[in-house]
Structure formats: C-alpha cells, structure tokens
C-alpha cells in the first residue's frame, strides 16, 4: 500500500516537474518544444499568404478592414515546423500574372477583383505551390504596433519626401539612422519613389521586418503581449482560427534573423500599357525557388541576366494561359526581354502571329522559328514600346505540337 | 513570545527560480505545492483553454494573468524570504 502511494507521489512530482519545464520553455524558447508536445500546432508545412491592403483610413474613424483595395504587399510565408524556419517569398505588386477569369493583370488587383479567395487562387496558380491560409494586414496594425513598441530604430537609406494628400500619406524622412514612430515607419515601408520602385521597397520592408522581429523578442514585449494580441485581433482578417493566430504569434516571437529566408520573385522590369511599370516574372528561376522552399536568400544572389537586344510584348488573344506561359519560358531561356504581357484582345487577329514593330523582319523570323510561328508581319499595329509583339491565339498550341513532332 | 523574523535567502532564491519551490524547501510543502500547481498548471490551462472560446474572452483572461502573474510571484518570493514557519519538534 505504502509502496503504491510512493509511486503515485513520484508520478505527481514528475508531472509537476514536467509542467514547470514546459511553462518555462513555452515562454522562453517555444522552438525547443517538440512538435508533438505543442498545443494545437499548425501543420508541419503551412503556406500562408500575407497581404498588406492598400486602404487608407481617416484618423478619427476606427475603420475595420475594408473589403476592397489593392494588395500593395504580397508575401507567401512558408512556416516550416520541422526545422523551425520561415521562408518568405515577396511578390512584387506589379508582377504580371494570370488572374483566373480576368486574364493577364498585375497581381495586386487579384484581391480587388475577387477578394481573398481569388488572391489565393491566383498565387497558387502562379507559383504552383498550395496556399493554405491567408492573412490580410491593415496598415493601421503596423502604426499601432510600432507605437506600442515605442518606436523603432532603422537605417533610412535615402532622403524620402512624398506627399499624397488624397491617400493621407505624408513621408518626410532624412537619410541616416532614425528612430521612427508608427506613422513614420508606415511611410518608410510604403515609400517607392526610387529608381527600382517596388523592388527597393520590398528590400526595405524585409530589413524592417527583421528589425521588428528582433525587437519583438525582447522580454519587455512579453509584458506588452496582450496589447499586441489586441492589435492583431482588430486589424487582421484571416481564415486562421484563434489558436492558430496565437501559435503564429508565439512562433514569430521566437524567430531570429537567420531563421528567415527571404526572396523576391525573380524577373525583369518592363513597361506595360499606359507606361505603367510591370514586373515580368522569370518563371524558371521562380519555380526553382518554389521547389527549394525559397532557400535562396535574396535577389542579389541570383545571376544577373544579360541585356538582350529585343523587347517583346505578348498579347494573349484567346485566354490560352498555358501557351503564354510556355512562350515566356522559351523566351527567358533565350534571354529575350519580355516587356509586357497583356490580355487586351485584338479581335481582328485570329491566327498566332508576330508583329515586328520596328521593321526587323529577320529578327522576327528568327523568333518565329524559335516559337514555331510562321505568320510574321512587319507592321505598326503592335505594341509601341517593343520590337516584337507576339499575338497568341488558340492555334499556337497545335503548331507547337507539330514542330515538336517534326 | 515575540518571534524574531528569520530571513531565508536560499528559499527566496529558489522561489525566484520556480515560484513556490522556496516554501517546499523551507518546510511549508503544502503552500509551496499549491503555488506550483496553480502557477504552472492551473493558470496555464485556463489561459490556453480560453483560446478555444473567443478572442476577447481570451484577451481579457490573458491580460489579467500577465498583470497578476508577476504580483503573485513577487509575493511568493517575499513570503519565502521572510515568513516565520512552524517547526515541528
């Protein structure tokens, strides 16, 4: 009897001991808790699409997230519970993708056109990776978070001045190390009046995120955690459940700089319709990154591409996305520059053809041989900005099959 | 008889490490174990459990505990440091 009691007591002490250690680990380093011992963890590999929505608010109004607006920032997060790493793939807002049902457009309008579901679908189709969940962030969340943290110290890489009265955005920052409050930080990560535009903004955002995570890891922030959670609950729209959000927050708290792999969708700048700048993705390099779970660190590490001689516009005339994608792949292999991909239809054209805008017929023939297109015209009806315009119709796929068989 | 307040440095330090451990070592096992049970099992279960309910209920409970946890802990350390204990003969 006494012996049984003793084992019981021992068991109780063991359980107590275990729970003490568990509590400490939960607070101090959640990463060290084995996966199967965690409370309601996310699946081992979860892809979450984080979208920062381009909605501006009045200062007085406590507006919850609006349904409309364009996604200025799109990041695909891959939370890897196995090796406790996060992979981030930033998708530039000007990336040209096929939005299901809407044709070729900039990716930032996917959310505007069809809400989170369409944005998810678009990214899934574009990257070929599943997107499990989405998080929509409001700029207000950022402002409040930075104010709560008592400002954040960052290096401002250039003088920034930009006033957008309509959007209520005012940026006025000087070069050098600065401690930014919420509004200034908001301006800092939204500024994109650089030569590289959105790309330098993405780099800035990634640096900024590292700084924020570093500061979030300090013990003082643990005391402020209820307020952080309140900000999160108020300004986030997501299909994750409450316990998943809490899990993510705890996970984010434990992240260090080298736990995060960041990359940007590779591609090249191009000028689209109405002189709007676009980002033409390099699909091969992108798929390589996706397959590696975004293991590449930064765009700078990618090989620089040679500047090819001719600029090309692709017009998708029959919603044949696969064909356009294939053409883009072929052209990228041969290092042509794709200036624009458009779904603005030319109803008078029914056969796949190449239009040589600037009179270079031999070049157009060469391109036609590469793609299996026999109809080559020298005309001024193509895109004004590029050397060649490829109008892709539904017959291209058949002609390609023929050339492959031959 | 006026009792002289004794100081217990080692139990106090142990209580800094794990709230309630000081009392256990000092001899007031019941009190110490009760503290440990609440601090490391009871409260966490309440907090984690409440995350299944509603965001704001969770937030209220969590915020309350963030405030009262350090207070309880500090009281516990002070208690371990300077309370008189009955010593059985």
pLDDT winner (highest mean) among A52-66, A163-177, A270-284: A163-177
* Closest CA relative to residue A198, chosen from A121, A286, A299: A299
Digit-coded pLDDT (tens) for A215-245: 888 888 888 888 888 888 888 888 888 888 8
Strand A169-173 relative to strand A96-99, pairing: unpaired
CA-to-CA distance for B30 and A7, rounded, in angstroms? Answer: 19
Q: Between B6 and A22, where is the model more confident? A: A22
* pLDDT of A295: 38
In chain A, positions 174-233, which contact chain B (CB-CB < 8 Å)? 223, 225-226, 229-230, 233
Give yes or no for residue A305 having a pLDDT over 50: no
Least confident of A189-193, A380-384, B40-44, B75-79: A380-384
Region A49-68 average pLDDT: 60
Closest partner CB to A233 (pick from B33, B36, B55): B55
pLDDT at residue B74 in the model: 93
Q: Note the helical H segments in A163-241.
A: 182-190, 198-216, 219-223, 225-235
For residue A299, what pLDDT band results from cuts at 50, 70 and 90?
very low
pLDDT tier at A170, thresholds 50, 70, 90: confident
Q: How many of the other CB atoms lie within 10 Å of CB of B24?
A: 20
Residue A60 CA to residue A322 CA, distance in Å, equals 48
For chain B, give me the number of helices (H) and strands (E)? 5, 0
Per-residue pLDDT of A23-39, as tens digits, reads: 998 888 888 888 888 88
Map residue A293 onto helix, strand or coil.
coil
CB contacts, 8 Å: B51 with chain A: 242-243, 246
Residue with tokens 């996604």: A71
Average pLDDT over residues A91-117: 86
Shortest Cα distance from B32 to chain A (angstroms)?
12
Residue of chain A whose alpha carbon sits nearest to that of B41? A19
Residue A338 clears pLDDT 50, i.e. is over it: yes
Identify which has the larger pLDDT, A189 or A21. A21
Chain B interface, mutation test: which of A13, A14, A16, most B Cβ atoms within 10 Å? A16
Banded pLDDT at A6 (limits 50, 70, 90): confident
Mean pLDDT of A85-93: 84
Calculate mean pLDDT across residues A124-134: 85
Q: How far is B41 from chain A (nearest CA, A)?
A: 6
Nearest-CA distance from B85 to chain A in Å?
23
A64-68, A313-317, B10-14, B64-68: segment of lowest average pLDDT: A64-68
Name the range with the highest mean pLDDT among A1-15, A156-170, A238-252: A238-252
ipTM over 0.90: no
Please tell me the distance from the alpha carbon of residue A245 to that of residue B51, in angstroms, as a whole number: 10
pTM: 0.70
Q: Name the pLDDT band for A302 (thresholds 50, 70, 90).
A: very low
Interface of A with B in 16-55 (CB under 8 A): 16, 19-20, 22-23, 26, 39
8 Å CB contact of A20 and B40: yes
- Is pLDDT at A147 greater than 90 in this prediction? yes
Q: Which residues pair with A170 in a beta bridge?
A: A163
A242 and chain B in contact, CB less than 8 A: yes
Q: Which residues lie across from A260 on neighbouring strands? A: A86
Q: Are strands A267-271 and A277-281 parallel, antiparallel or unpaired?
A: antiparallel
User: In the prediction, which pLDDT does A332 show?
Assistant: 80
pLDDT at A307 over 70: no
Residue A154 has pLDDT above 70, yes or no: yes
Residues of B in contact with A18 (CB under 8 A): none
Higher pLDDT, A170 or A67: A170
3-state secondary structure of A90: strand
pLDDT at site A236: 81
pLDDT interval class at A365 (50, 70, 90): confident
With contacts defined as CB-CB under 8 Å, which chain B residues touch A220?
A: none
Give residue for tokens 């090819």.
A308
Token pair, residue A126, equals 């574009």
Nearest by Cα to A50 from A189, A197, A236: A236
Higher pLDDT, A21 or A165: A21
Q: A20, B44: Cβ pair inside 8 Å?
A: no
Q: Which residues pair with A268 in a beta bridge?
A: A280
Nearest 5°: phi and psi at B48? -65, -40
Looking at the complex, report in whole angstroms how far the Cα of residue B30 sits from the nearest Cα belonging to chain A: 13
For residue B36, give the nearest of A20, A26, A226 by CB distance.
A20
Q: ∠A60-A64-A67 over CA atoms, to 5°?
A: 125
Going by their DSSP bridges, the two strands A70-80 and A85-91 should be labelled as antiparallel
| Segments in chain B below pLDDT 70 | 1-5, 83-89
Mean predicted confidence (pLDDT) in A120-149: 87
Radius of gyration of chain B measured on its C-alpha atoms = 16
Q: Say yes or no for a CB contact (<8 Å) between B66 and A225.
A: yes
Range in A84-98, A219-233, A354-368, B33-47 the model is least confident about? A354-368
| Mean pLDDT, chain A, whole residue set | 78
Question: Could you say which DSSP state residue A127 is in?
Answer: H
Report the 3 state secondary structure along B32-52: HHHHHHHHHHHHHHHHHHHCC
């Amino acid at each position: 009897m006494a012996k049984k009691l003793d084992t019981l007591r021992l068991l109780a002490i063991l359980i107590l001991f275990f729970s003490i250690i568990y509590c400490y680990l939960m607070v101090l380093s959640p990463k060290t808790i084995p996966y199967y011992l965690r409370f309601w963890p996310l699946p081992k590999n979860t892809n979450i699409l984080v979208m920062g929505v381009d909605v501006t608010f009045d200062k007085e109004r406590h507006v919850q997230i609006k349904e409309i607006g364009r996604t200025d920032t799109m990041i695909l997060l891959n939370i890897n519970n196995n090796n406790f790493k996060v992979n981030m793939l930033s998708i530039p807002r000007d990336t040209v993708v096929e939005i299901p049902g809407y044709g070729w457009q900039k990716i930032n309008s996917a959310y505007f056109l069809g809400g989170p579901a369409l944005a998810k679908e678009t990214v899934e189709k574009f990257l070929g990776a599943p997107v499990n969940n989405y998080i929509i962030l409001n700029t207000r969340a950022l402002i409040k978070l930075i104010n709560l943290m008592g400002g954040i110290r960052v290096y401002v890489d250039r003088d920034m001045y930009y006033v957008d009265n309509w959007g209520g955005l005012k940026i006025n920052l000087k070069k050098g190390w600065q401690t930014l409050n919420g509004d200034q930080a908001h301006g800092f990560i939204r500024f994109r009046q650089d030569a590289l535009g959105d790309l330098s903004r993405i780099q800035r955002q990634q640096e900024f995120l590292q700084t924020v995570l570093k500061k979030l890891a300090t013990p003082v922030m643990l005391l402020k955690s209820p307020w952080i959670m309140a900000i999160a609950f108020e300004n986030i729209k997501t299909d994750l459940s409450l316990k998943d959000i809490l899990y993510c927050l705890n996970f984010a708290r434990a992240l260090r700089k080298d736990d995060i792999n960041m990359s940007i969708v590779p591609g090249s700048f191009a000028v689209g319709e109405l002189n709007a700048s676009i980002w033409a993705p390099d699909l091969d390099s992108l798929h390589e990154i996706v397959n590696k779970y975004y293991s590449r660190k930064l765009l700078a590490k990618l090989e620089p591409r040679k500047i090819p001689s001719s600029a090309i516009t692709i017009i998708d005339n029959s919603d044949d996305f696969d064909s356009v994608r294939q053409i883009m792949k072929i052209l990228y292999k041969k290092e042509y520059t794709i200036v624009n991909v458009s779904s603005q239809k030319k109803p008078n054209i029914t056969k796949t053809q190449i239009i040589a805008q600037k009179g270079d017929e031999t070049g157009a023939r060469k391109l036609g041989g590469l793609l299996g297109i026999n109809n080559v015209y020298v005309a001024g009806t193509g895109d004004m900005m590029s050397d060649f315009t490829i109008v892709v119709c539904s017959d291209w796929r058949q002609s390609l099959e023929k050339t492959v068989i031959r | 008889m006026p009792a002289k307040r004794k100081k217990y440095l080692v139990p106090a330090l142990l209580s800094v490490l794990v709230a309630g451990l000081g009392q256990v070592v000092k001899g007031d096992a019941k009190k110490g174990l009760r503290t440990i049970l609440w601090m490391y099992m009871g409260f966490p279960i309440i907090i984690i459990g409440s995350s299944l309910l509603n965001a704001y209920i969770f937030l209220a409970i969590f915020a309350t505990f963030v405030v009262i946890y350090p207070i309880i802990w500090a009281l516990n350390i002070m208690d371990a440091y300077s309370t008189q204990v009955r010593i059985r003969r």
